[in-house]
Amino acid sequence: MTTDESAPWLVVGLGNPGPGYAANRHNVGFMVADLLAGRMSGSYRRAQKAQAQVLEGRLGPMGPGSRRVVLAKPSSFMNLSGGPVSALRDFYKVDTARVVAVHDELDIDYGTLRLKLGGGDNGHNGLKSMTKAMGPDYHRVRFGIGRPPGRMQVADFVLKDFSSTERKELDYFVDRAADAVEALLLEGLERAQSTYNS
């Protein structure tokens, strides 16, 4: 695998396919990916070699400072994300360290971001599947959704839509997460962490 600066990054928004899941907390990775697609002024197409929607383009300022990006949303369900992501990684010859997973995170307060490289899956089925398919050494942009209230089961909580109160700030937080992805690609992990890890 190549690791030179001209090599593409593979940015993957994690979620579940279909309109019934679109506004779920578990689909915030798709929301961030869709915002990035708008910034790339492109539209998704079906990947040839993987079960995913992809968009190839550039992020960042025009010119040599921008980064080549393959933006992807797996078409599989969340717990099967690893197959499509590893297939895209292999097809585009992307080093695992240039893969970025954007996903919901239960153990972080709503709207809070954490960027990291590697680590465990913390019970997240999408990350569990990705790590099984290609090891843990990829970047994560973790979007906090908080813990379920009362005795609500985690599975029920993540598959519910954001609350009306949460939706008031959701666009702002999704925009900030997209900014964090760009900062990671353009400035590196440490600088992006110092700006966005709060």
**So what's the pLDDT on residue 4?**
62
Give Cβ neighbours of residue 62 (< 8 Å, ≥ 6 apart).
Answer: none
Out of 12-26, 55-69, 72-86, least confident range: 55-69
In this predicted structure, the answer to whether residue 51 has a pLDDT above a threshold of 70 is yes
Give Cβ neighbours of residue 91 (< 8 Å, ≥ 6 apart).
Answer: 47, 48, 49, 50
The predicted-structure confidence for 156-192, as pLDDT tens digits, reads as follows: 999 999 999 999 999 999 999 999 999 999 999 999 9
Is residue 29 within 8 A of residue 12, CB to CB? The reply is: yes
Q: Is the dihedral of CA 112, 25, 173, 74 positive or negative?
A: positive
Check residues 110 and 60 and name the one with the higher pLDDT. 110
Alpha-carbon torsion, ordered 118, 172, 125, 196, to 10 deg: 10
Residue for token pair 């869709």 = 34
Q: How far apart are CA 195 and CA 9, in angstroms?
A: 21
In this predicted structure, the answer to whether residue 65 has a pLDDT above a threshold of 80 is no
Residue for token pair 């990705």 = 130
Would you call 103 a catalytic residue per the annotation? no
Residue 70: both structure tokens together: 């393959």
Q: Which of 26, 103, 124, 139 is catalytic?
A: 26
**So what's the pLDDT on residue 5?**
66
pTM: 0.94
Classify each residue of 34-69 as buried b or exposed e, where b means 16 or more C-beta atoms within 10 Å of its C-beta: bbbbebbebeeeebeebbbbbbebbbbeeeeeebbb
Read off the pLDDT band of 58 (50, 70, 90): very high
The three-state secondary structure class of 46 is strand
